[in-house]
Amino acid sequence: MKEIFEIIIYSFFAGITVFLGGILSRIFEKFKDYSAHKFITHFAIAFGGGILIAAVAFVLIPKGIEQLSIFPLILSFVGGVLFFCFLDNKIHKKGGSFAQMMAMLMDFVPEAIALGGVFAHNIRLGLLLALYIGMQNLPESFNAYIELKHYNHSSRTSLIILFLLSFSGVIAALMGYFLLRNKVSIIASLMAFSGGGIVFLMFQDIAPLSKIKNSWIPPIGASIGFLIGIIGEKLLG
């Protein structure tokens, strides 16, 4: 019972940063200086993109490579690419884009499932993974809030959506603990699938949004985001 309680607590604190990132984005939204607001927005998108790339490079794909043979690995990765290509195309046809939101969930949920899955075997790794997830969620949800507002959601509605999504980590972690803790190959397939989806969304939607003409600041932000991933991987290792 104590172990389940700890999973709920750790996954909650990892997930609540989804809501905190939205609140932080709401605060910066009040900036009256257009150039400052533009700078912060593009930097945050690039920074979050760097962290997403790190998640793919250090967490999602390595797990797939470690646990899956070549064919299931390819199938899972390509499945993620095709699924999110289809989903993104459908959303674009309806006049919208939720790439930031989808990428955040594709990163957050599988890692939360892995958190629950590994917790029974390695509590220290579970705790470090919770810290890593929380660190990733903050800039990603910052951008997701901007995206929700861009597509005509009110500030209140956007924050409510992010608040509700922050609890998806608890659900995912408990699912990983009860259903998948001894099914390493399924977790690995899910991570490879998510990795494929994130790579597609990154180059289709997220990276193009981060660019500012004649400015090198967003790429610096992406590099810092990737560095955060390196630090997280070093701690997890």
Interval 101-116 mean pLDDT: 79
Token readout for 135 is: 């660190």
pTM of the full structure: 0.77
* pLDDT band, residue 28 (cuts 50/70/90): confident
Torsion sign over Cα 89, 168, 226, 197: negative
N- to C-terminal Cα distance for the chain?
28
Evaluate if residue 118 carries a pLDDT over 80. no
Residue with the bigger pLDDT between 39 and 155: it is: 155
Cα dihedral 14→177→122→188 (10° resolution) = -90
Concatenated DSSP letters of 129-143:
HHHHHHHHHHHHHHH
Instruction: Give per-residue pLDDT as tens, 195-235.
Output: 888 888 788 767 776 777 777 777 888 888 888 878 877 77
Question: By the 8 A CB rule, do 222 and 46 touch?
Answer: yes
Query: Which token pair is 237?
Result: 């290792």
Closest CA to 18 of 125, 124, 103: 103
pLDDT at 94 over 70: no
pLDDT band at 42 (very low <50, low <70, confident <90, very high): confident
Residues 6 or more apart whose CB falls under 8 angstroms from that of 162 comprise 18, 19, 21, 22, 141, 144, 145, 148
Using only C-alpha atoms, what is the Rg of the chain?
Answer: 17
Cα 236 from chain centre: 17
What Å distances lie between residue 182 and 9, 114, 185, 235, CA to CA?
A: 22, 11, 9, 24
